[in-house]
Structure 1
Amino acid sequence: MNAKNGSSAIDVPTARALMANNPDILVVDVRTAGEFDSAHVPGSINLPLDQVDQHLGRIVNDAGGRLLLMCQSGNRATQACTKLVNAGLSSATVISGGMNAWISAGGPVERGVERWSLERQVRLVAGSIVLLSVVASIWFPPARFVAGFIGAGLTYAALSNTCAMGMLLSRLPYNRGATCDVDLAIGRLRTPGRRA
């Protein structure tokens, strides 16, 4: 248990062993639907982080077994776990390192159309804005303040472990994908033998 945020975490080998020995364990992937479509753990469900707050009560009420939360690197899954634990769900655990660790450890993956992860998209957008504002400041000096604003935003994102730019990018059609049906995902939370 992480005393700082109330969430617990396990490594990939432990998660795989739990999944092999208990069919009621469900992997809940909190990445965007686009990221989920690219690659996900077989039998997992997609419940994007931006949907967790909206459906928090239903998730806590319907969770019928242990949930293993996953994202790309572990940050979004930790945020989701903290929200669920604070709302009264005691059976949520984060898979440390997320899909990055899962793939590195040789875990099984269902692949679809490759899309950039949300973290990579944030790096591209933030870096592009900084670069363009620095170049523009050659002709229009106040443009340098845009680069400073992005730097301040990235600093705040690191300190608070949240990312406003990531939350905005997650709402783009590119990141929505076709597979995220929140009602279906929540319905699978309460179904015994939930893995497909």
Structure 2
Amino acid sequence: MNPPAALDTDQAHARLADLTVIDVRAPGEYASGHLPGAHNVPLDRLHHALPAIEEAAGQGEILVVCASGTRSENACRTLAGLGVTAATLTGGTSGWAARGHELHCPEGAARSAWAMERQVRLAAGALVMTGLALGLLHPAWQLLSAGVAGGLVFSALTNTCGMAVVLGKLPYNRPRTAAPDLDATLAALRQRRG
């Protein structure tokens, strides 16, 4: 499958008013700062949101964003397989902020969630170190480290990350402030241009 269309941060900034922006990060990441007007549809809820996304695509272009661009590329491929054309933001919200463009943070979002890639590195590293340390007590514990290594190889080969999906469901990746639930987000997405 061909790579999805991509907009760089300056192109997206210039066309932001004409784009429907869908942020596929976990709600906690989204609450820590997102593109103005972006709708939060976590990657693991993309299929549930498909009818609203199809409606939005019928009214204009869809831009899918995440922290670095990896998850948004996966989302664009998933959407393309379902008949919806969408572009990804090159460099994600990190690239957006690095170019000096505004990120919207809801009022009361005092904390900043770590980027999912950073959380995965911490969790994977901690599990490997735990497996190696416990392996000194009993060699069978080294299988924990081997399992994490195998998961990382699988993640790289498939460009997916099961650990990120699991971490995205943890409470600290949910915003502490009242955030709109997915149904409210989908209703807003349907009304975007209506």
Q: Extract structure 1 runs of 4+ deviating beyond 3 A.
A: none
Count of aligned positions: 187
Task: Find the partner of 1:94 among 88, 109, 128.
Answer: 88
In the TM superposition, 1:113-152 aligns within 5 A as: 113-152=111-150
Q: Which structure 2 segments of 5+ residues have no match?
A: none
Tell me how far apart the structure 1 counterparts of residues 152 and 10 of structure 2 sit (CA, whole Å).
Answer: 32
- In the other structure, the counterpart of 2:161 is 163
**Distance in structure 1 (CA, Å) of the matches to 2:154 and 2:187:** 36
How far apart are residue 88 of structure 1 and its match? 1.5
Matched residue SS, 2:21: strand
Is 1:15–2:12 an aligned residue pair? Answer: yes
Question: Is the 8 Å Cα contact of residues 30 and 49 (structure 1) preserved in structure 2?
Answer: yes
Query: What's 1:52 paired with?
Result: 46
- How far did 1:55 drift? 2.5
SS in 1 for 2:191: coil
Q: 1:187 Cα shift? A: 2.2
Q: Which has the higher helix share?
A: 2
Give me the whole-angstrom Cα distance separating, in 1, the residues matched to 2:156 and 2:148: 12
Task: State the Cα deviation string for residues 55-92 of structure 1 (Å, max 9, x = none).
Answer: 323422343221111001111111111111221123x1
Whether the 8 Å contact between 2:20 and 2:56 is mirrored in structure 1 is no
Contact 2:52 2:190 in 1 (8 A): no
- What percent identity do the matched residue pairs reach? 36
Deviations along 1:89-143, whole A, 9 cap, x unmatched?
23x1100110111111111012332111111111111100100110111111111
TM, length-normalised to structure 1: 0.88
State the TM-score, normalized to the length of structure 2.
0.89
The residue that corresponds to 1:40 in the other structure is 34
Supply the distance in 2 between the matched residues of 1:9 and 1:186 (Cα, whole angstroms): 24
Q: What does residue 69 of structure 2 align with?
A: 74
Question: Are the counterparts in 2 of residues 42 and 109 from structure 1 also a CA contact under 8 Å?
Answer: yes
Name 1:189's counterpart in structure 2.
189
Q: Which residue identity lines up with residue 183 of structure 1 in the other structure?
A: D
Compute the RMSD of aligned alpha carbons.
Answer: 1.7
**Gap regions ≥5 residues in structure 1:** none
Q: Give the aligned residue type for 1:100.
A: S
Q: 2:179 is matched by which residue type in structure 1? A: T
Moved more, 177-186 or 96-105: 177-186
Instruction: Report if aligned partners of 1:62, 1:186 keep a CA contact under 8 Å in 2.
Output: no
2:172 matched to which residue of 1? 174
1:9-44 Cα deviation digits (max 9, x unpaired): 11101111112xxx3412211100000111111221
